[in-house]
Amino acid sequence: MMGSAVSILFVLVGLSVPIAAVLGILALVLAWMYSPMPLHRALGDIYWTNSTDFILVAIPLFIMMGEILLRSGIAERMYGALSKWLSWLPGGLMHSNVGACTLFAATSGSSIATAATVGTVAIPQARKGGYNERLFLGTLAAGGTLGILIPPSINMIVYGLLTNTSVPQLYLAGFVPGLMLAGLFMVTVLIACLIRPAWGGRPERSSWADRLASLPDLIPPMLIFLAVVGSIYAGLATPTEAASLGVVAALLLAAVNRRLNWEMLMQCLEGTMRTTAMVMMIVLAAMFLNFVLSVIGLTQLLTDFILGLGLSPMQTMAVIILGFLVLGCFMEAFSLLLIATPLVAPIVSSLGFDLVWFGILMMLLLETALITPPIGVNLYVIQGVRGRGPMNDVIIGSLPFVGAMLVMIVALVLWPEIALWLPQKFG
Protein backbone atom coordinates (compact mmCIF):
# COMPACT_ATOMS: atom_id res chain seq x y z
CA MET A 1 0.00 0.00 0.00
CA MET A 2 2.76 2.44 0.96
CA GLY A 3 4.79 1.51 -2.11
CA SER A 4 1.82 2.11 -4.39
CA ALA A 5 1.08 5.51 -2.83
CA VAL A 6 4.70 6.70 -3.10
CA SER A 7 5.06 5.40 -6.67
CA ILE A 8 1.87 7.12 -7.86
CA LEU A 9 2.90 10.34 -6.11
CA PHE A 10 6.34 10.51 -7.71
CA VAL A 11 5.05 9.55 -11.17
CA LEU A 12 2.49 12.35 -11.09
CA VAL A 13 5.01 14.88 -9.75
CA GLY A 14 7.52 13.73 -12.38
CA LEU A 15 4.93 14.34 -15.10
CA SER A 16 4.59 17.96 -13.86
CA VAL A 17 0.91 17.51 -13.04
CA PRO A 18 -0.34 20.51 -10.97
CA ILE A 19 -0.04 19.65 -7.30
CA ALA A 20 -3.76 20.03 -6.50
CA ALA A 21 -4.53 17.51 -9.24
CA VAL A 22 -1.74 15.23 -7.95
CA LEU A 23 -3.33 15.09 -4.49
CA GLY A 24 -6.83 14.55 -5.86
CA ILE A 25 -5.81 11.82 -8.32
CA LEU A 26 -3.72 10.07 -5.66
CA ALA A 27 -6.69 10.08 -3.27
CA LEU A 28 -9.12 8.70 -5.90
CA VAL A 29 -6.71 5.97 -7.06
CA LEU A 30 -5.92 4.82 -3.51
CA ALA A 31 -9.63 4.80 -2.66
CA TRP A 32 -10.37 2.70 -5.76
CA MET A 33 -7.53 0.26 -5.01
CA TYR A 34 -7.90 -0.26 -1.26
CA SER A 35 -11.35 0.82 -0.07
CA PRO A 36 -14.47 -1.35 -0.32
CA MET A 37 -16.57 1.82 -0.06
CA PRO A 38 -17.06 4.53 -2.73
CA LEU A 39 -15.08 7.22 -0.90
CA HIS A 40 -15.45 9.71 -3.75
CA ARG A 41 -19.06 10.24 -2.62
CA ALA A 42 -17.72 12.00 0.48
CA LEU A 43 -15.88 14.54 -1.66
CA GLY A 44 -18.60 17.17 -1.63
CA ASP A 45 -19.10 17.03 2.13
CA ILE A 46 -15.36 17.18 2.82
CA TYR A 47 -14.81 20.11 0.46
CA TRP A 48 -17.75 22.07 1.85
CA THR A 49 -16.97 21.40 5.52
CA ASN A 50 -13.31 22.38 5.22
CA SER A 51 -13.75 25.30 2.83
CA THR A 52 -16.12 26.98 5.28
CA ASP A 53 -13.71 26.65 8.23
CA PHE A 54 -13.39 30.15 9.71
CA ILE A 55 -9.64 29.94 10.27
CA LEU A 56 -9.00 29.42 6.54
CA VAL A 57 -10.42 32.87 5.82
CA ALA A 58 -7.11 34.19 7.19
CA ILE A 59 -5.27 32.84 4.13
CA PRO A 60 -6.73 35.20 1.47
CA LEU A 61 -6.55 38.08 3.96
CA PHE A 62 -2.82 37.60 4.58
CA ILE A 63 -2.26 37.21 0.84
CA MET A 64 -4.12 40.47 0.19
CA MET A 65 -2.14 42.26 2.89
CA GLY A 66 1.10 41.21 1.18
CA GLU A 67 -0.22 42.41 -2.19
CA ILE A 68 -1.07 45.85 -0.75
CA LEU A 69 2.35 46.20 0.89
CA LEU A 70 4.04 45.22 -2.35
CA ARG A 71 2.16 47.74 -4.49
CA SER A 72 2.06 50.66 -2.06
CA GLY A 73 5.82 51.30 -1.94
CA ILE A 74 6.09 50.46 1.77
CA ALA A 75 8.57 47.64 1.12
CA GLU A 76 10.84 49.87 -1.00
CA ARG A 77 11.08 52.54 1.68
CA MET A 78 11.63 49.92 4.38
CA TYR A 79 14.57 48.48 2.40
CA GLY A 80 16.08 51.92 1.94
CA ALA A 81 15.91 52.60 5.67
CA LEU A 82 17.49 49.27 6.60
CA SER A 83 20.29 49.80 4.11
CA LYS A 84 21.30 52.96 5.99
CA TRP A 85 21.46 51.06 9.29
CA LEU A 86 23.10 47.79 8.16
CA SER A 87 25.21 48.50 5.06
CA TRP A 88 28.31 49.39 7.13
CA LEU A 89 28.75 45.70 8.06
CA PRO A 90 31.04 43.46 5.96
CA GLY A 91 28.58 42.30 3.31
CA GLY A 92 26.82 45.65 3.03
CA LEU A 93 23.37 45.44 1.50
CA MET A 94 23.26 41.65 1.90
CA HIS A 95 22.55 42.27 5.58
CA SER A 96 19.81 44.68 4.51
CA ASN A 97 18.36 41.86 2.38
CA VAL A 98 18.08 39.60 5.42
CA GLY A 99 16.80 42.42 7.65
CA ALA A 100 14.18 43.48 5.11
CA CYS A 101 13.03 39.87 4.66
CA THR A 102 12.74 39.54 8.44
CA LEU A 103 10.60 42.67 8.75
CA PHE A 104 8.45 41.84 5.73
CA ALA A 105 7.99 38.26 6.99
CA ALA A 106 6.49 39.75 10.14
CA THR A 107 3.74 41.30 8.06
CA SER A 108 3.07 39.11 5.01
CA GLY A 109 2.86 35.50 6.29
CA SER A 110 4.17 34.18 2.97
CA SER A 111 7.68 33.14 1.90
CA ILE A 112 6.98 33.66 -1.79
CA ALA A 113 5.60 37.17 -1.19
CA THR A 114 8.60 38.01 1.01
CA ALA A 115 11.18 36.77 -1.53
CA ALA A 116 9.43 38.43 -4.48
CA THR A 117 8.86 41.79 -2.78
CA VAL A 118 12.32 42.25 -1.27
CA GLY A 119 13.97 40.73 -4.35
CA THR A 120 12.25 43.25 -6.64
CA VAL A 121 13.67 46.12 -4.59
CA ALA A 122 17.12 44.66 -3.88
CA ILE A 123 18.35 42.86 -7.02
CA PRO A 124 19.09 46.04 -9.03
CA GLN A 125 21.56 46.99 -6.26
CA ALA A 126 23.72 43.85 -6.68
CA ARG A 127 25.76 44.90 -9.70
CA LYS A 128 25.54 48.60 -8.88
CA GLY A 129 27.26 47.95 -5.53
CA GLY A 130 29.84 45.48 -6.87
CA TYR A 131 28.58 42.52 -4.79
CA ASN A 132 29.19 38.84 -5.45
CA GLU A 133 25.92 38.24 -7.27
CA ARG A 134 25.55 34.59 -6.28
CA LEU A 135 25.79 35.29 -2.56
CA PHE A 136 23.58 38.36 -2.94
CA LEU A 137 20.86 36.27 -4.61
CA GLY A 138 21.29 33.58 -1.94
CA THR A 139 20.51 36.08 0.83
CA LEU A 140 17.22 36.92 -0.89
CA ALA A 141 16.18 33.31 -1.53
CA ALA A 142 17.06 32.27 2.03
CA GLY A 143 15.74 35.43 3.69
CA GLY A 144 12.43 34.97 1.90
CA THR A 145 11.91 31.63 3.64
CA LEU A 146 11.48 33.48 6.95
CA GLY A 147 7.92 34.27 5.82
CA ILE A 148 6.67 30.89 7.04
CA LEU A 149 8.55 30.91 10.35
CA ILE A 150 8.15 34.44 11.73
CA PRO A 151 4.51 35.17 12.68
CA PRO A 152 2.06 35.70 11.15
CA SER A 153 2.48 32.62 8.95
CA ILE A 154 -0.02 31.04 6.55
CA ASN A 155 1.73 27.67 6.85
CA MET A 156 1.39 27.73 10.64
CA ILE A 157 -2.35 28.32 10.28
CA VAL A 158 -2.65 25.26 8.02
CA TYR A 159 -0.47 23.16 10.34
CA GLY A 160 -2.60 24.18 13.32
CA LEU A 161 -5.75 23.22 11.40
CA LEU A 162 -4.35 19.80 10.42
CA THR A 163 -3.07 18.92 13.90
CA ASN A 164 -5.63 20.76 16.05
CA THR A 165 -2.79 22.82 17.53
CA SER A 166 -3.25 26.37 18.85
CA VAL A 167 -2.20 28.91 16.20
CA PRO A 168 -1.38 31.62 18.82
CA GLN A 169 0.89 29.09 20.56
CA LEU A 170 2.61 28.33 17.25
CA TYR A 171 3.05 32.05 16.59
CA LEU A 172 4.69 32.53 20.00
CA ALA A 173 6.95 29.54 19.37
CA GLY A 174 8.12 30.94 16.02
CA PHE A 175 9.53 34.24 17.27
CA VAL A 176 12.84 33.15 18.81
CA PRO A 177 13.77 30.53 16.16
CA GLY A 178 12.86 33.00 13.41
CA LEU A 179 15.06 35.76 14.79
CA MET A 180 17.87 33.29 15.51
CA LEU A 181 17.74 32.00 11.94
CA ALA A 182 17.86 35.55 10.57
CA GLY A 183 20.90 36.11 12.79
CA LEU A 184 22.54 32.93 11.44
CA PHE A 185 21.97 34.16 7.88
CA MET A 186 23.72 37.44 8.73
CA VAL A 187 26.60 35.58 10.40
CA THR A 188 26.91 33.45 7.26
CA VAL A 189 27.23 36.61 5.15
CA LEU A 190 29.70 38.10 7.63
CA ILE A 191 31.95 35.02 7.58
CA ALA A 192 31.85 34.78 3.77
CA CYS A 193 32.77 38.46 3.36
CA LEU A 194 35.54 38.31 5.96
CA ILE A 195 37.06 35.38 4.05
CA ARG A 196 36.50 37.02 0.65
CA PRO A 197 36.26 40.80 1.23
CA ALA A 198 35.64 41.46 -2.48
CA TRP A 199 32.27 39.68 -2.21
CA GLY A 200 31.00 42.41 0.09
CA GLY A 201 30.92 45.09 -2.61
CA ARG A 202 31.74 48.72 -2.13
CA PRO A 203 31.03 49.91 1.42
CA GLU A 204 28.24 52.43 1.80
CA ARG A 205 28.43 55.00 4.55
CA SER A 206 25.47 56.81 6.06
CA SER A 207 25.55 59.58 8.61
CA TRP A 208 23.63 59.31 11.85
CA ALA A 209 21.42 62.12 10.60
CA ASP A 210 20.49 60.00 7.54
CA ARG A 211 19.84 56.95 9.72
CA LEU A 212 17.60 58.84 12.12
CA ALA A 213 15.77 60.47 9.23
CA SER A 214 15.02 57.00 7.78
CA LEU A 215 13.38 55.66 10.95
CA PRO A 216 9.84 56.74 9.93
CA ASP A 217 10.09 54.36 6.95
CA LEU A 218 10.40 51.43 9.40
CA ILE A 219 7.24 52.39 11.26
CA PRO A 220 4.61 51.07 8.76
CA PRO A 221 5.67 47.38 8.91
CA MET A 222 5.92 47.67 12.70
CA LEU A 223 2.38 49.08 12.88
CA ILE A 224 0.99 46.24 10.77
CA PHE A 225 2.86 43.69 12.88
CA LEU A 226 1.37 45.20 16.05
CA ALA A 227 -2.10 45.28 14.50
CA VAL A 228 -1.94 41.61 13.53
CA VAL A 229 0.08 39.84 16.22
CA GLY A 230 -0.65 42.33 19.01
CA SER A 231 -4.41 41.98 18.59
CA ILE A 232 -4.12 38.18 18.90
CA TYR A 233 -2.17 38.23 22.16
CA ALA A 234 -4.18 41.07 23.61
CA GLY A 235 -7.20 38.78 23.28
CA LEU A 236 -8.90 41.23 20.95
CA ALA A 237 -8.95 39.07 17.83
CA THR A 238 -8.64 35.54 16.49
CA PRO A 239 -5.95 34.91 13.81
CA THR A 240 -8.59 35.43 11.11
CA GLU A 241 -9.86 38.67 12.62
CA ALA A 242 -6.27 39.82 13.10
CA ALA A 243 -5.59 39.20 9.40
CA SER A 244 -8.52 41.46 8.50
CA LEU A 245 -7.11 44.15 10.81
CA GLY A 246 -3.81 43.80 8.95
CA VAL A 247 -5.57 44.40 5.62
CA VAL A 248 -7.28 47.53 6.99
CA ALA A 249 -3.96 48.80 8.40
CA ALA A 250 -2.22 48.18 5.06
CA LEU A 251 -4.97 50.06 3.19
CA LEU A 252 -4.71 53.01 5.59
CA LEU A 253 -0.94 53.14 5.14
CA ALA A 254 -1.32 52.98 1.36
CA ALA A 255 -3.75 55.90 1.59
CA VAL A 256 -1.33 57.88 3.76
CA ASN A 257 1.38 57.23 1.15
CA ARG A 258 -1.05 58.42 -1.58
CA ARG A 259 -0.78 55.08 -3.40
CA LEU A 260 -4.37 53.96 -2.82
CA ASN A 261 -6.35 54.13 -6.07
CA TRP A 262 -8.70 51.94 -8.08
CA GLU A 263 -5.97 50.61 -10.37
CA MET A 264 -3.86 49.52 -7.40
CA LEU A 265 -6.88 47.95 -5.68
CA MET A 266 -7.83 45.98 -8.80
CA GLN A 267 -4.27 44.66 -9.11
CA CYS A 268 -4.27 43.65 -5.45
CA LEU A 269 -7.63 41.90 -5.74
CA GLU A 270 -6.63 40.06 -8.91
CA GLY A 271 -3.35 38.89 -7.38
CA THR A 272 -5.14 37.84 -4.19
CA MET A 273 -7.77 35.83 -6.07
CA ARG A 274 -5.21 34.05 -8.24
CA THR A 275 -3.03 33.03 -5.30
CA THR A 276 -5.98 32.15 -3.04
CA ALA A 277 -7.57 29.94 -5.70
CA MET A 278 -4.31 28.03 -6.11
CA VAL A 279 -3.74 27.63 -2.36
CA MET A 280 -7.31 26.60 -1.55
CA MET A 281 -7.42 23.99 -4.33
CA ILE A 282 -4.30 22.42 -2.86
CA VAL A 283 -5.64 22.59 0.72
CA LEU A 284 -9.00 21.01 -0.15
CA ALA A 285 -7.43 18.26 -2.28
CA ALA A 286 -5.08 17.51 0.62
CA MET A 287 -8.05 17.31 3.03
CA PHE A 288 -9.70 14.67 0.82
CA LEU A 289 -6.41 12.77 0.54
CA ASN A 290 -6.05 12.81 4.34
CA PHE A 291 -9.58 11.39 4.65
CA VAL A 292 -8.78 8.57 2.19
CA LEU A 293 -5.47 7.74 3.90
CA SER A 294 -7.26 7.49 7.23
CA VAL A 295 -10.09 5.29 5.94
CA ILE A 296 -7.83 2.81 4.10
CA GLY A 297 -5.58 2.60 7.16
CA LEU A 298 -2.39 3.90 5.58
CA THR A 299 -1.81 6.45 8.35
CA GLN A 300 -2.02 3.78 11.05
CA LEU A 301 0.08 1.39 8.94
CA LEU A 302 2.88 3.93 8.68
CA THR A 303 2.66 4.72 12.40
CA ASP A 304 2.86 1.02 13.33
CA PHE A 305 5.75 0.45 10.91
CA ILE A 306 7.90 3.28 12.27
CA LEU A 307 7.14 2.49 15.90
CA GLY A 308 7.84 -1.18 15.16
CA LEU A 309 11.39 -0.42 14.09
CA GLY A 310 12.36 -0.31 17.75
CA LEU A 311 14.19 3.00 17.44
CA SER A 312 14.44 5.45 20.30
CA PRO A 313 12.27 8.60 20.06
CA MET A 314 15.28 10.71 19.07
CA GLN A 315 16.39 8.18 16.43
CA THR A 316 12.86 8.15 15.03
CA MET A 317 12.89 11.94 14.91
CA ALA A 318 16.20 11.83 13.03
CA VAL A 319 14.60 9.51 10.45
CA ILE A 320 11.63 11.88 10.09
CA ILE A 321 13.94 14.90 9.64
CA LEU A 322 16.03 13.07 7.04
CA GLY A 323 12.84 12.07 5.21
CA PHE A 324 11.66 15.69 5.09
CA LEU A 325 15.05 16.90 3.83
CA VAL A 326 15.01 14.34 1.00
CA LEU A 327 11.35 14.92 0.08
CA GLY A 328 11.92 18.67 0.18
CA CYS A 329 14.25 18.34 -2.81
CA PHE A 330 11.42 16.92 -4.93
CA MET A 331 8.22 18.47 -3.55
CA GLU A 332 6.95 22.02 -3.16
CA ALA A 333 7.02 23.06 0.51
CA PHE A 334 3.30 23.80 0.95
CA SER A 335 2.34 20.50 -0.69
CA LEU A 336 4.81 18.66 1.54
CA LEU A 337 3.21 20.28 4.59
CA LEU A 338 -0.26 19.12 3.53
CA ILE A 339 0.76 15.58 2.58
CA ALA A 340 3.18 14.79 5.39
CA THR A 341 1.57 16.42 8.43
CA PRO A 342 -1.37 13.97 8.80
CA LEU A 343 1.05 11.05 8.39
CA VAL A 344 3.81 12.22 10.71
CA ALA A 345 1.98 14.18 13.44
CA PRO A 346 0.38 11.06 15.05
CA ILE A 347 3.81 9.40 15.20
CA VAL A 348 5.44 12.48 16.73
CA SER A 349 2.66 12.77 19.30
CA SER A 350 2.83 9.06 20.23
CA LEU A 351 6.57 9.42 20.86
CA GLY A 352 5.89 12.15 23.42
CA PHE A 353 7.11 15.16 21.44
CA ASP A 354 5.28 18.47 21.73
CA LEU A 355 3.27 19.25 18.57
CA VAL A 356 3.90 22.99 18.97
CA TRP A 357 7.66 22.32 18.99
CA PHE A 358 7.31 19.95 16.04
CA GLY A 359 5.34 22.59 14.15
CA ILE A 360 8.31 24.96 14.36
CA LEU A 361 10.70 22.17 13.40
CA MET A 362 8.49 21.42 10.40
CA MET A 363 8.51 25.09 9.37
CA LEU A 364 12.34 24.97 9.40
CA LEU A 365 12.31 21.81 7.29
CA LEU A 366 9.87 23.42 4.86
CA GLU A 367 12.11 26.49 4.71
CA THR A 368 14.96 24.22 3.68
CA ALA A 369 12.73 22.73 0.97
CA LEU A 370 12.14 26.24 -0.40
CA ILE A 371 15.81 26.66 -1.37
CA THR A 372 16.93 23.11 -2.21
CA PRO A 373 16.94 22.19 -5.92
CA PRO A 374 15.35 21.02 -8.11
CA ILE A 375 11.90 22.12 -6.73
CA GLY A 376 12.94 24.96 -4.39
CA VAL A 377 10.24 27.54 -5.11
CA ASN A 378 12.15 30.54 -3.75
CA LEU A 379 15.01 29.75 -6.14
CA TYR A 380 12.63 30.17 -9.07
CA VAL A 381 11.02 33.27 -7.55
CA ILE A 382 14.37 35.04 -7.21
CA GLN A 383 15.51 33.92 -10.67
CA GLY A 384 12.20 35.15 -12.08
CA VAL A 385 12.62 38.55 -10.44
CA ARG A 386 16.23 38.67 -11.64
CA GLY A 387 15.16 37.89 -15.21
CA ARG A 388 18.59 37.00 -16.59
CA GLY A 389 21.60 34.73 -16.15
CA PRO A 390 21.78 31.02 -15.27
CA MET A 391 19.65 29.44 -12.56
CA ASN A 392 22.82 27.90 -11.08
CA ASP A 393 23.80 31.31 -9.69
CA VAL A 394 20.80 31.33 -7.34
CA ILE A 395 21.26 27.67 -6.38
CA ILE A 396 24.97 28.01 -5.57
CA GLY A 397 24.40 31.26 -3.69
CA SER A 398 21.76 29.61 -1.51
CA LEU A 399 23.87 26.61 -0.43
CA PRO A 400 25.65 28.35 2.50
CA PHE A 401 22.25 29.29 3.90
CA VAL A 402 21.04 25.69 3.67
CA GLY A 403 23.95 24.96 6.00
CA ALA A 404 22.74 27.69 8.39
CA MET A 405 19.25 26.14 8.37
CA LEU A 406 20.68 22.70 9.21
CA VAL A 407 22.52 24.26 12.17
CA MET A 408 19.22 25.78 13.36
CA ILE A 409 17.41 22.44 12.96
CA VAL A 410 20.04 20.65 15.05
CA ALA A 411 19.88 23.40 17.71
CA LEU A 412 16.08 23.14 17.90
CA VAL A 413 16.22 19.35 18.30
CA LEU A 414 18.88 19.55 21.02
CA TRP A 415 17.26 22.49 22.84
CA PRO A 416 13.46 22.39 22.34
CA GLU A 417 13.08 25.30 24.77
CA ILE A 418 14.24 27.62 21.97
CA ALA A 419 10.72 27.24 20.58
CA LEU A 420 8.80 26.38 23.76
CA TRP A 421 10.07 29.11 26.10
CA LEU A 422 7.70 31.85 24.92
CA PRO A 423 4.56 29.62 24.73
CA GLN A 424 5.27 28.32 28.25
CA LYS A 425 5.86 31.81 29.60
CA PHE A 426 2.99 33.66 27.95
CA GLY A 427 0.69 30.96 26.57
Q: What is the pLDDT along the chain (427 residues), one digit of tens a residue?
A: 767 777 887 788 677 777 778 878 888 888 888 888 888 888 888 888 877 777 778 778 888 887 888 788 887 888 888 888 887 888 888 999 999 889 888 877 777 778 887 888 888 888 788 889 999 999 999 998 898 898 888 889 889 988 989 888 999 999 999 999 999 999 999 999 999 988 888 777 788 888 888 888 888 888 888 888 888 877 788 888 888 998 999 899 889 888 889 999 998 898 888 878 877 787 788 778 878 877 887 767 777 777 777 888 999 999 999 888 888 876 667 778 887 888 889 889 988 999 999 999 999 999 998 888 766 778 888 888 887 888 889 989 999 999 999 999 999 999 999 999 999 887 6
**Contact by Cβ (8 Å): 99, 299:** no
Residues 6+ apart with CB under 8 A from 11: none
Using only C-alpha atoms, the chain has a radius of gyration, in whole angstroms, of 22
Global pTM? 0.81
Number of C-beta neighbours around residue 273 at 10 A: 13
What is 25-60 written as a DSSP string?
A: HHHHHHHHHH-SS-GGGGHHHHHHHHHT-GGGGHHH
Closest CA to 47 of 378, 291, 211: 291
Closest CA to 19 of 278, 276, 377: 278
